[in-house]
Amino acid sequence: MQLADASFVVVDVETTGLSAASNRITEIAMVRVTGGAIADSFQTLINPEQYISPFITQHTGITNAMVYGKPTFRDALPDIKRFLAESDTPVIVGHNVNFDHGFISHSFARAGEDFVLASTEDTEHLLCTCKLARRLLPKLQRRSLKHVQDYFGIKNVRQHRAMGDAAATAKILLRFLEMAEQMDIDSLQDFLRMQNARPNYGRRKTKKQISLREEVKSFPERPGVYTMRAAKGEVMYVGKAKNLHHRVASYFAESHTAGTKLTQLMRVVKEISYEETGSELSALLLESRRIKELGPRFNSLERRYKSQSFLKLDIQNPFPKLSFSREPGQDGAEYYGPFRSRESTEALIEVLNRSFTLRECKDNFPIGPDVKPCFYHDIHRCNAPCALLESRDEYRIEVERLRQFLAAGEEGVLALVEQMMLGAAERLDFEEAQFLKIRLLELRRVLGRGERTLASINANDLVILNKTTVGHCEVLFVRFGMLAKQIVLSHSNLDNVEEWFFRQLRLYYSATPATASTAGKPEIDEMRIISHWLEQSRKRGSRVVYLGDNWEDAVMRVVRELKEVLGPKQEIVDAPGATPGSIAVPIKETAKPTVTASTRPKRIVLKPMKA
């Protein structure tokens, strides 16, 4: 299982003592972490049915009076099991997780039930953030929850209470997941094994490793893609970096964990080369292409294209409906996505069909006054245009409502599902409310990743402006969610820049079809990378201009954003061979100069800008 797809449940318990066999739980809290974010939580006080000593009260603040009348663990068990069941094979997480897991297991046993952990390839789904702190924060002398949360600057106003500690541990887990991604740990199994692996302190470096470490010091502090090769030139790994110097130098750190993919990789690497790119997005796209072309051994999870899916609205049909599609086609329909899996797309379709009265039947349905409406009309999910109970114009109004709703973005969808869930609860329809709660968690996992997945591909036309160096800006033209052109501009290009942008926008957004051509796996993978990057772009200082239906109106907005990114004109010394305002070599081209660790670092060769 990929680490990005894993679900975690962080647990914390307060107890009457230290023994799981003889003492009892007084409070339990659980926090669900999915998709790199906190998704849900649960907390309750527990009547331990035994005396809470003054020492424990002084430590936790929980008194005998506070737990009087509260549910016993047996009474709270259905809610606890329900919360755990809402995650697919969750990893149980805690700071010193064996303590929490021991109390929960004994409490389940006293209630006559088993607390069974999931597993992946014989690795139990049990994760200790205290053990991870020893591996990932080797310079931190004390690894208690308080010291780790202070290290990350995490505030915990309810120390030694279950929800306060569980929430703090969940935030620590998120930091560790980010660190694992930077260390190229992309599988759940490797992440779980890392907590018990031996630190790699003092391992003797070979002469080649020492030589490479010295040569890497000359790598530039700019975005790019690096390639690691073995003795005979075999490509072992391809990676991207915001800062090539810092990222590649981190491979030679002393604190790596023995037995992980990283240490195995560094034993065989004999050469490291790099290619500079204008921005992190360019590096992401180039990295993806290089991995697909070269199939490096240590990029095992990235060799194949990730499975994607799309939401299809066939507006070319007289009575459009929503459906699932593996890839967009040139059939006049609108496609939204890409999404990570078919299950997530179908979950979204189910929610939308419950909210908008579009048909759900097959395309070749009979129409006439004698047609008997189907089941969906009986449950008020369709107004039966087949039986002429709804005209085509009335049906089209509902289609436009749906399109406008999708254009509002992810927040609108999540707010709608939450409103539907609360409405079902108020009607005491708890079965429907539970169904919608599960759907809400699934959609938060899918839509909460910062991906602009609900933008229609046909309307996903935009211009991205990234500041590269002082006085230079990388401009990327995106058409149908895919990269159309990449260029680097500077102050020297500001003369007649309005006319130049007008010609570029007319070339890429006017002289092309109004709908996207059939997209294969490379194009879909590019859409995924760009959509994932877009919503986070402003945090990185990038500018994004959405063109809309009339690209001509966007010319001045693009020019204004370009001038703001470039800032005031300054005297700039360019790298050898680079000319201000030159065109970067398009990253779709495969022939690029490669720089090795043993040669003098240079920027990618630039060519003069042409209109």
| Residues belonging to the active site | 160
Q: What are the Cα distances from residue 564, in Å, to 89, 472, 473, 559, 561?
A: 48, 11, 10, 9, 5
Q: Are 33 and 10 in contact (CB under 8 A)?
A: yes
3-state secondary structure of 226: strand
What is the Cα–Cα distance from 386 to 319, expressed in whole angstroms?
10
Nearest one of 189, 183, 322, 188 to 263, comparing CA atoms: 183
334-339: strand order across its sheet: 322-325, 309-313, 334-339
**Token pair for 47:** 């009547």
Nearest one of 530, 525, 518 to 303, comparing CA atoms: 525
At residue 562, φ and ψ (nearest 5 deg) are -60, -45
Q: Are 94 and 169 in contact (CB under 8 A)?
A: yes
**Token pair for 389:** 């109970």
Tell me how crowded residue 53 is: count the other CB atoms within 10 A of its CB: 12
- Phi-psi bin for 484: left (phi > 0), alpha (psi -120 to 50), beta? alpha
**Token pair for 345:** 């797309």
Tell me how crowded residue 473 is: count the other CB atoms within 10 A of its CB: 27
Instruction: Kindly give, in sequence order, each residue whose CB lies less than 8 Å from that of residue 308, ignoring residues fewer than 6 positions away.
Output: 326, 327, 337, 338, 339, 340, 524, 525, 527, 528
What is the Cα–Cα distance from 480 to 314, expressed in whole angstroms?
17
Q: Tell me 458's DSSP state.
A: G
**Exposed, middle or buried by CB within 10 Å (0-12, 13-18, 19+), for 99?**
middle
